[in-house]
Amino acid sequence: MITGRKILKGALTQLPIELYELMVRRASRRPLPPVTFTSKEYFPHRGARVEWWYFTSVLTTPKRKAPIGLEVTFFRVKTLVESVIVHAAVTDVEGEKFTYTGIVLPICIRFTSDNHMVIALFGNRVRFDEGTSSLAIDTHLRGLQVSLSCAIRDIMAQGAGGVQEMQNSPGDTSYYFTMPNMNTKGKIVLNGESLSVAGLTWHDHQWGNFNVVKMKWNWFSLRFDADDLYVMLFNFDRWGTTYGSGNVQCHGRTMRVEQFEVNASDIFRAGHRATYPIDWELQIFDSPEGTTPFMTAHVKPMLKGQDLSSLITPDYWEGLCTVHAEILTPVDLGGTRFLDKKVLDGFAYVELTGCEK
């Protein structure tokens, strides 16, 4: 059904995306050389037309028995001008409430010469401290304030040398690095209530010149903190053809995943905007030719309604989940044992895009 909102959103969202597509069409086909992640990679890459710093946290607070989920994302997009977008969302499981907000600056103006500043927008900022190897996140958005310090531990390259292949190949790639287990502490102010929080944050940093028009993107981050085990899986779907990949990291060692299957047993309808598949069963294989999964996982949202809707950006679902998993068979990596048979319980964050009607 075509509504006034859909027409307005199309004018505000689709036209800039199409302009971006024109700008990257040739650049997206250039092969990317591998990189070694150093401290300079935390900062903006001016040759990239799109870049984002993505933080998803599972936190505890003395004021809640259940966990708090937090998402903060800084987007930098360059077409004829450079724009910055900030999204922030909190999942209050105990209060059964999902709160999100955001801000868009159509033209990025840099007000600071602070050499620790990664990106900033009207008091919303990310800073990197090389001395403590940590990232500080601050947001002040319409009743939602976040102030966190995140100590970096492991860095996981998505793809060889951090070069991640995208579905819309040939040659369409991005740089992609993950910090899955940053020790986190700080404060969240939610509708006037101040919450002292601590826990772990997963950080994704991606940049490049890749296509986004008509692309569906499903992203799963599974976190088994007690076992120091982290799993990232994502599907790209463009023009009906799906490409999936990911990594399993355990005690700092990483195994590439090139085959997995996702099946959803339920849906969440976000009004007339979108229908999202939820309650996922994942099967993960140890090779592209594998016929029997070495790991299965059931991922379930802690709240169904964790969808973010905006007139300016594409709508998407991003939510805190529980995950119950089992390693069915032992796995070796490089001639030594990597995973043993085990039942696992943890948390997850899931992102679903491209589900708009």
Sequence ranges of the domains in the chain:
4-31+51-353
Q: What is the mean pLDDT of residues 312-338?
A: 92
Q: Is 291 left (phi over 0), alpha (psi -120 to 50) or beta?
A: alpha
d(Cα 148, Cα 129) in Å, to the nearest integer?
13
Confidence of residue 350 (pLDDT cuts 50, 70, 90): very high
Rounded to the nearest 5°, which phi and psi values hold at 188? -125, 130
CATH code assigned to 4-31+51-353: 2.40.370.10
Q: Which residue has the higher pLDDT, 18 or 155?
A: 155
Q: Residue 102's closest CA among 121, 119, 117?
A: 121
Q: Give the angle 215-313-44 at the CA atoms, nearest 5°.
A: 85
Which percentage of the chain shows pLDDT scores above 90? 62
pLDDT digits (tens, 9 = 90+) for 139-189: 998 889 999 999 999 999 998 899 988 765 556 788 999 999 999 999 999
Tell me the pTM.
Answer: 0.92
Q: Give the angle 24-26-31 at the CA atoms, nearest 5°.
A: 100
